[in-house]
Amino acid sequence: MSLPTQPYKGTRDFYPEDKRIQKYMFAKLRQVVESFGYQEYDAPLLEPFEVYAAKSGDELVNEQLYSFEDRGGRKVAIRPEMTPSVSRMVAGRRQELAYPLRLYSIPNLWRYERPQRGRLREHWQLNVDLFGIDDISADEEIIQMADSILKALGADSHEYVIKVNSRKLLKRLDEHINLSQDKARQLYRIADKKNKMTDEQFKQEIFEAGLDASVDFFFAATIDKLPAPLNESEEAENLEGLIARLNKVGVNAVFDPGIVRGFDYYTDIIFEVYDFEGANNRSMFGGGRYDGLVGLFGVEPVPTVGFGMGDVTLQNFLVTHKLLPELPSETDVTAILIGDVYDQAQGALSGLRESGVNIAVDASDRKLDSKIKHAVKSGTRYALFIGESELSSGKLKLRDLTKGHEDELGLKEIINKFAKHP
Amino acid sequence: MSLPTQPYKGTRDFYPEDKRIQKYMFAKLRQVVESFGYQEYDAPLLEPFEVYAAKSGDELVNEQLYSFEDRGGRKVAIRPEMTPSVSRMVAGRRQELAYPLRLYSIPNLWRYERPQRGRLREHWQLNVDLFGIDDISADEEIIQMADSILKALGADSHEYVIKVNSRKLLKRLDEHINLSQDKARQLYRIADKKNKMTDEQFKQEIFEAGLDASVDFFFAATIDKLPAPLNESEEAENLEGLIARLNKVGVNAVFDPGIVRGFDYYTDIIFEVYDFEGANNRSMFGGGRYDGLVGLFGVEPVPTVGFGMGDVTLQNFLVTHKLLPELPSETDVTAILIGDVYDQAQGALSGLRESGVNIAVDASDRKLDSKIKHAVKSGTRYALFIGESELSSGKLKLRDLTKGHEDELGLKEIINKFAKHP
């Protein structure tokens, strides 16, 4: 009986043409976040189970976590998110690290989900975190950076909107309308779905839960239209200031009282980036402030703002808005050997490679036609013909396989044409 | 009770200075293998358990594999090696892919090991595979590429040696001295340890196992000194030809009858790269031909040669031979804001960032001295001072924090100094 060729359910194989798309996206992400002074870190794929049990939220831990006992009886989990790992790392060097501390990573994460559009069991996620700043400038930088990434990938401001809210403001609401902690949780769960429901559906759920007093809050179009005294609270003022500053630097940010975020650890400003695709209005990714997480690891807390941006939703966004460029093969040239010149050709091939030309060799004894066909199929744009006479004359035929055009070039000319690091 | 800050046993946290080393190594690996026409692929971290049960070898599957049941009752494993995954992927598109097919990946792999020097539970490994060539040119290319990688990282030929052997030749030996399959396995297990033992210890183990007839084979210094008729076999001739061709292109390759390799799936040429560090003679990494693995997935077999190179042993090698360069922070500049100019500075900061200058901002209300101290601590080489007067004059003070030297520069001059993509 033979083994199946499909990958594990809800995951992807990345053939070179798929991997190229991911590499293109990740290179842009790295470029933008490094331009803001963020430095890359990484953490192990497995973490002790308790790291997530603490603060990641019940649904994730009880239903979605990949956890098991290792051969030594330790309960471990495959990371479903990166925030607990980076918080652990910062706690581990709380005193030695320099603040503000800017960190990013692009880990793969695992959740046991029913696979569907935008949701897979394995995905990669850019994680960006700014540690050590307790004022609104940190929130501004993080949201501005999320915006810069989308723009660097070619998106226009009118193709998405960044919706901002505040957990502290939500807490004020709870106090104002006198909600128990349980009732408040229920309210957040309903609010979290607001952007997927009609206004009527939302109101009905709110009324059925006996949360009528919260309706005015969730239908406030702007901060100044929030029910008094919330509209004059410090939290409202803060939020309004943040949005004004973001708008001033060209970020399409708006207040949305229905933004709640799933994780338990957020403490203040939270945001989500929405795709404006036709009638569709989908949350792509988000983040916020979580000042308490580093402190769970037994050190003095560190104020932190961050976000996570997944590769699946990002790629869907780029495809929908036609923002993915043509990505050519990394291989510049297929060298087609004519006759038995494998050994003689090594000098020329090494010289080209060391000068930064990417060359695959076809030394098979197939017919010339068949070799050319395979070079085309492999996605390489150019073929370079190397036989006895070419090696002795030092002039090689380079054929553009997309146009059929052919040039006779010396090694130096070939290097100049392709070299990425001259 | 607070959570522990240590990573899971046998794994590493990568703080930015650690990650930079890994990024440096991986960039070199990518550069070299892409220059040989290899393209990057990736596969999911989890695979069905059966994929490894088939051919990875008993020790790995029974003692080292991280395997468990998912929430749907499927038996899965965290990949301990990449070869089965890439074989599965090639089988999945056996007909559509163009051959020769050159693929590489740098996955993280997991094995339940007792952590020690060079062995961790999580490591990254460059995997390079060449599919579709059944003659010795494929083995030559793969070994030459392994050699080119070490040279690109600054190593000299005399700092390592590539030891080559052949599974087919070992099989000839088994036939010649009439070994049962069980006895042959036992012989391979002993041979695999030969390079870690003295000759006396090795002989003793061989004699104790009743394998006396194999001794002449394992002490043959060159191929022509193998016991007859093995010395005149097709396999010996092939191996001799390969080594001669490798030597001709400057690869320090030698015959070593004690090279066996652990995996069950190898079918012909096998090799291991040894570090010549003083008296130390450690196997760093290796590979070989495995023509049968793709066929296990229910398709026509594909001849394949490949190798895997782990990051832990590679980094140890580079450190031992003093080949790791100083790696500066990705952040070029810390912008130190003077006074409340955060909003006004945004235009200048965005302009610099979009032109490829990596800038971290310190907008805190700490004293200037303290800000400079933190910039130094963060590892950034330059500080850029931005206040009201600098913004109105357009001239900014740039201080080299390593030398104390200061320049007054316009934005264009700063861009020219740092821009990586002008």
Round to whole Å and give the CA distance between B346 and A145: 12
Round to whole Å and give the CA distance between B300 and B275: 38
Q: In terms of Cα–Cα distance, which of B70, B36, B61, B174 is closest to A114? A: B70
pLDDT value of residue A2: 84
Round to whole Å and give the CA distance between A107 and A109: 6
Round to whole Å and give the CA distance between A303 and A80: 22
**A304-310 vs A122-131, strand pairing mode:** antiparallel
Q: What is the CATH number of the domain that holds B181?
A: 3.30.930.10
- Co-location of A299 and A198 in the same domain: yes
pLDDT value of residue A100: 96
Q: Helix, strand or coil for residue A222?
A: coil
Contacts of A133 in chain B (CB under 8 A): 363-364
Structure tokens at A403: 């146009």
Tell me if chain B has a CB within 8 Å of the CB of A374: yes
- A18: closest chain B residue by CA: B41
Total domains in chain B come to 2
Domain extent, residue A347, equals 333-418
* Amino acid identity, position B253: A
When pLDDT is averaged across residues B59-87 and rounded to a whole number, the result is 93
- Co-location of B75 and B155 in the same domain: yes
Q: Do B297 and A4 touch (CB under 8 A)?
A: yes
pLDDT band at residue B280 under the 50/70/90 scheme: low
Round to whole Å and give the CA distance between A80 and A90: 19
Tell me what the pLDDT averaged over chain B comes to: 93
Asked if residue B2 belongs to a domain, the reply is no
- Co-location of B200 and B293 in the same domain: yes
Q: A320, A354, A379 — which closes off a domain?
A: A320
pLDDT value of residue B56: 64
**Residue B343 or A38, more confident:** A38
- Co-location of A256 and A402 in the same domain: no
pLDDT tens per residue, range B229-253: 999 999 999 999 999 999 999 999 9
Share of chain B above pLDDT 70, in %: 97
Q: Do B353 and A35 touch (CB under 8 A)?
A: yes
- Co-location of B314 and B337 in the same domain: no
Phi, psi of B16 (to 5 degrees): -50, -40
Cα–chain center distance at A44: 18
Asked if residue B326 belongs to a domain, the reply is no
Pick B296's closest partner by Cβ from A3, A35, A92.
A3
Strand partners, A105: A127
pLDDT value of residue B395: 94
Asked if residue A72 belongs to a domain, the reply is yes
pLDDT value of residue B262: 76
Asked if residue B187 belongs to a domain, the reply is yes
Contacts of A331 in chain B (CB under 8 A): 34, 37-39, 102
> Please, are residues B275 and B284 in contact by the beta-carbon 8 Å criterion?
yes
- Co-location of A254 and A339 in the same domain: no
Q: A268, A289, A320 — which closes off a domain?
A: A320
Q: Do B15 and A93 touch (CB under 8 A)?
A: yes
Residue of A1, A12, A13 best to disrupt the B interface, most CBs of B under 10 A? A13
Structure tokens at B73: 């009752």
- Co-location of A212 and A314 in the same domain: yes
Asked if residue A115 belongs to a domain, the reply is yes
Least confident of A233-247, B9-23, B280-294, B324-338: B280-294
Round to whole Å and give the CA distance between A10 and A109: 12
Round to whole Å and give the CA distance between B101 and B40: 11
Asked if residue A4 belongs to a domain, the reply is no
Q: Do B46 and A298 touch (CB under 8 A)?
A: no
Contacts of A149 in chain B (CB under 8 A): none
Q: In terms of Cα–Cα distance, which of B330, B124, B152 is closest to A356? A: B152
Residue of B6, B19, B45 best to disrupt the A interface, most CBs of A under 10 A? B45
Q: Do B122 and A44 touch (CB under 8 A)?
A: yes
> Please, are residues A80 and A110 in contact by the beta-carbon 8 Å criterion?
yes
How many Cα atoms occupy the beta-carbon half-sphere of B241 within 13 Å? 13
Asked if residue B61 belongs to a domain, the reply is yes
- Co-location of A218 and A315 in the same domain: yes
- Co-location of A152 and A239 in the same domain: yes
- Co-location of B193 and B310 in the same domain: yes
Tell me if chain A has a CB within 8 Å of the CB of B327: no
Q: A320, A343, A374 — which closes off a domain?
A: A320
Asked if residue B7 belongs to a domain, the reply is no
Tell me if chain B has a CB within 8 Å of the CB of A422: no
pTM above 0.90, yes or no: yes
Residue of B2, B8, B78 best to disrupt the A interface, most CBs of A under 10 A? B8
pLDDT value of residue A278: 62
Q: What is the largest CA-CA distance in chain A?
A: 90
Pick B36's closest partner by Cβ from A353, A374, A375.
A353
Round to whole Å and give the CA distance between A231 and A238: 11
pLDDT value of residue A298: 93
pLDDT value of residue B419: 76
- Co-location of B302 and B355 in the same domain: no
Least confident of B101-105, B192-196, B392-396: B192-196
- Co-location of A43 and A166 in the same domain: yes
pLDDT band at residue B282 under the 50/70/90 scheme: confident
The CA distance from A37 to the nearest CA of chain B, in Å, is 4
Q: Digits of tens for pLDDT over chain A (422 positions)?
A: 689 999 999 999 999 999 999 999 999 999 999 999 999 999 999 999 999 987 666 778 888 999 999 999 999 999 999 999 999 999 999 999 999 999 999 999 999 988 887 789 999 999 999 999 999 999 999 999 999 999 999 999 899 999 999 999 999 999 999 999 889 989 998 998 888 889 999 999 999 999 999 999 999 999 999 999 999 999 999 999 999 999 999 999 999 999 998 777 899 999 999 998 765 568 899 999 999 899 999 999 999 999 999 999 999 999 999 999 999 999 999 999 999 899 899 999 999 999 999 999 999 889 999 999 999 999 999 999 999 999 999 999 999 999 989 999 999 999 999 976 54
Q: What is the CATH number of the domain that holds A400?
A: 3.40.50.800
pLDDT value of residue B409: 95
pLDDT above 60: residue B279: no
pLDDT value of residue B422: 43
